[in-house]
Structure 1
């Protein structure tokens, strides 16, 4: 029996209550298949198609290879989209409940999709190798060390707090970083020597990702993104983050990074930058960003609960409570066991009545058929009669088997 795309997508939907919608769309954004547990987000496929086109242009400009995964985080939901050869797999998450996807499950489902396309659509010659890179990149999304949220105090007293802040970032995984306004005007820029582009080219290039996400998400119920990130097949990625408000205009923090130690370390570095800038330019969206990062941190690295031992006086009270609980549970078990026994007796008694009733009907049915068989054969209904008898015999057999199991 062939497996439908919906059945494969349903595995992802059922993997977590945080997964709200799973979609496959083609390269122009047309929905091919979807499953969901909420009202569908209209224009989701078109949004991802536009985002991947913008990401492709950025990757070509910065020589970053092939774009594989796009993630945009909004106040309530996150959208994770993956390149799958024929189109995109798009997952909508309630990140407040759970941001982390089951990478093993996603890998299995993608392999099932590819096998289905090859076997049922005859796409043996199609190159699906991009999916291997997607799985590797997906593992990187949820790995890495969370660095403590800090404030770069040296930057707080500087007249140019933004430039002073990014100068404090010493992480070698961050290849370039830039603050711009929404028009792409550079406010601060820092890069490693291997990066050849300058501030206006870098900021203006990455800004297209932020602009596309905002433009397309505005037409949906997702609202404004607090961050957007793209991962490539060369172990690199680029990210845009809402960094605050200056002169009533949004600040955009843009980062080019390597993922060989995971994305979480990059994300925590970005949080410290925004946390520092927020002392002067913070707004409601920066608060949402920082709260979201703290929630993701708790999901990936849950805090261990420290057991507190009761003192001697309290220990006696706890012992009494435990004795009462044990007695209560024992009495409750005895009650339900007795009730279950009575229920089984009722089943047995009623089951015997049903068997007698079925056997009586069976005897009467066969007697009627035997007395009328000559007429039945005369008009050519003997085959149909035999089919109906077979149906009745199968039903009796199944019911008797189930009743025997109940006994």
Structure 2
């Protein structure tokens, strides 16, 4: 389903399509899928058909949803199923960089594909690079082959690629230039392996992808030097805030499960202040804290999204503003520091409203803490806090390469 079809949904706040009925359906099966390790292919296909991956596939004011609207939906999807929300993270990063305002053959091709529901995965991380998330030399290589190339390499943490139609692969050209090759995931020589064994986000297929002598045409390659995608200032801010939005969703999900747990309790401890658990003021306090944490997490993410919208509008006009891009990165960094802690805290707090039965494997309530903790580890908050502190004290610019 195209974006135009997706807009048949009743519009919600700020003109954002209403996906909540679909999110509610997704949420009903989330705990079981995660517990039994059922990969959510069908769920991802539902979202693709509903146009969820194409929400920004047009300029703001011409059909595209702004970042505030997008991240409101990401939070809601994260509350329904954090794994599924995470799967769309790399897609939205690649689509924003390459397809939103197409400037070359790759962008034009992807713009049309995304409009038809296609998803884009990512092949970036390499374990041989000791500078994690930086802009080090790529061991994945594009080797000249006639008018095109052959691609060879191995990528790790290729989140979402198993569910995707295309993959954006970071590689070095024969001249040693940094580049992105965007190719179909079903092309001969591409192998996506679901070997991710993390304690959380178990269904994101954040494993290994192999590229073995893959044919790549010249018009499927974008050089960083063109200023598209990875050539932009603070290009990865959106990707970082996306993960933070998923964690804000987890904070909300923990609140939802805590309310269900408390309202479903038929007993209470003999020494509690009241006999009925749902009327226990001590447990009301826990619910109140969970609610406040979830509210604050969402508010912080949306405030940072406003800064992303500011730089996006500038880039829509074909201009660049490094200072404004830095402001967006600064907002996203501060948001992560706060929201990660709130999500992790909520993942633990929800157990306070239940007895030992709340910790049974059947409920799978522990997934919220595990998922939030795993997402937070993608880019440790301690380094964010160091960078934020240095900027506050001395005006030191934030790191601008790779996954900051």
- TM-score between both structures, scaled by the size of structure 1: 0.27
Taking structure 2 as the reference length, the TM-score comes to 0.27
Please tell me whether Structure 1 or Structure 2 has the larger radius of gyration of its CA atoms.
1
More strand, by proportion: 1
